[in-house]
Amino acid sequence: MTRATARPRRTASALMALALVGGISAAELAAALAGAPAAHADSWRDKEYWLAESGITKAWEVSKGAGVKVAVIDSGVDGGHPDLAGVLAGGADISGAGAANGQESIGAKPEHGTLVATMLAGRGHQSAEASAKPSASASASPAAGAGAGPDGIIGVAPEAQLLSVSTWLGSANPGGKTDQEQIPEAVRWAVDHGARVINISLGSTSPEWPQSWDAAFLYAEQKDVVIVAAAGNRVGGNIQVGAPATIPGVLTVAGLDRSGKASIDSSSQGISIGVAAPAEDLAGGMPAGGYAEWAGTSGATPIVAGVAALIRSKWPEMSASQVINRIVSTAKDAGVPGKDPLYGFGVLNAEAALKADVAETKVNPLGSISDWIRVQRRGNPASTAPAAAPAPSSAAPTLPEATVPVAQKPSQLDSAVPAAVVLGFGALFLGIIAAAAFQLRAALRNTPKDGGDGPGRSQATAASSEDSSNRS
């Protein structure tokens, strides 16, 4: 399994890609760029074009995500980043190689989780100058009305809380757990610790998932949790959408370029796509307080997950199916009319998702893992409780294992039954022959020698003559 990785950029992009892979801070990156001065945090806020273009700033008039927990299943979130102060409400390490609270950046791309988290629920921060002059900060950024600091990254749901669930993916895990083990365990942990939305900015090149994942995603569905997952990036080898974004009921996010079209590099395609969101020229926080530009559906996913958090904050009793339906049914249609494999139901419109009148539905427009299990696993649905031992696959053959036949001496009973049958039929045949012979001898005894109708004729012939005379 691979992450939906950031796309390398031109000129300075080569070093930026190295920063993402190596996890260096923004200051180190600036030093590498021929001594160019580091950018101020508010210049990073200015890069967040999706806040206005996707209708998020308008959606903040209705909700900012208060009271909602969103789990980030990723490489760990650096809770010490200034834009994440007070954002993390808990966490865990599933890999066996990270910090117990999930806040250590681990794996092949350790900065990945912090980039996702800041875009989803960053609160920005006060600069030193603004702290000295608080009155000057009110109009410092388009997010000033969001109740957060004017500098740094402001997330889509700046009043939501995050749960950091760290996993080790993309390289050999020193903790020993495989991705097949980590993903379902992470989903279960998130559900059990109060997540109402789960962000999975991870992807794979295979549309199929292990059967061991069924129970965890079924568990989330039954507990009414919204799961948002990245479609994956072509540049990373994901031509088609891969698991877990192919799991029925999951809200899969495709990527858009800066012009609002389906991104050639930072997206993929597939029938499971639900909605499309910006995936190029993104900006987010890095571990140790830095910032970076990046690209990919990894970044488009927290934008959509943030909108799901806004909806769940506004309508706490709304079902997960209805939350997803609000997002996809208010999306702006793009590409060919109707749902298509590039844009899904269309381009994210956060304002409409929070303000439009949407018909109530009890059915998830993206399907149900429960229904899928019932059909595809042939009546062997995954249990919602952790199993002590893996159950045998429902696809296993029901016939016993093939064995080589061994010749054995037949028993006396086996021999006696056929013999009795033969003897019985033989006796019956002899009886029939004997009866026929007896009848033949009797007939010959009563037959006249001259063949006439005299006294020597048989009784049967005489009786026939008598009957004839009486009728006349």
DSSP at 262: B
Q: Which of 307, 254, 276 is nearest to 70 (CA)?
A: 307
Give the span between the Cα atoms of 173 and 167, in whole angstroms: 9
Give the span between the Cα atoms of 119 and 51, in whole angstroms: 10
Q: Which two tokens stand for residue 331?
A: 């999306």
Give the span between the Cα atoms of 75 and 265, in whole angstroms: 22
Q: Which two tokens stand for residue 309?
A: 């958090």
Q: Which of 74, 69, 164, 158 is nearest to 113 (CA)?
A: 74
* Angle subtended at Cα 145 by Cα 141 and Cα 149, rounded to the nearest 5 degrees: 60
Give the span between the Cα atoms of 183 and 168, in whole angstroms: 10
Q: Has 139 been annotated as catalytic?
A: no
Q: Which helix (H) or strand (E) holds 439?
A: helix 412-445
Q: Does residue 415 sit in helix, strand or coil?
A: helix
Give the span between the Cα atoms of 190 and 194, in whole angstroms: 7
What's at 456, amino acid-wise? G
Go through the chain and tell me how many residues it has.
472
Give the span between the Cα atoms of 433 and 430, in whole angstroms: 5
Q: Has 298 been annotated as catalytic?
A: yes
Would you call 142 exposed, middle or buried from its count of C-beta atoms within 10 A (0-12, 13-18, 19+)?
middle
The pairs formed by 462-466 with CB atoms below 8 angstroms and a separation of 24 or more are none
Q: Which of 112, 214, 321, 340 is catalytic?
A: 112
* Count of beta carbons in the 10 Å neighbourhood of residue 171: 11
Q: Which of 164, 298, 321, 329 is catalytic?
A: 298
Q: Has 46 been annotated as catalytic?
A: no
Q: Does residue 276 sit in helix, strand or coil?
A: strand
Q: Among positive and negative, which fits the CA dihedral 460, 463, 464, 465?
A: positive
* Residue 310: partners with Cβ closer than 8 Å, 6 or more residues away: 59, 60, 62, 63, 64, 65, 156, 157, 350, 353, 354
Ordered alpha helix ranges (H), 125-233: 128-132, 179-192, 214-222
What's at 2, amino acid-wise? T
Give the span between the Cα atoms of 197 and 217, in whole angstroms: 13
Gyration radius of the chain's alpha carbons: 39
Which of the residues are catalytic? Answer: 74, 112, 298
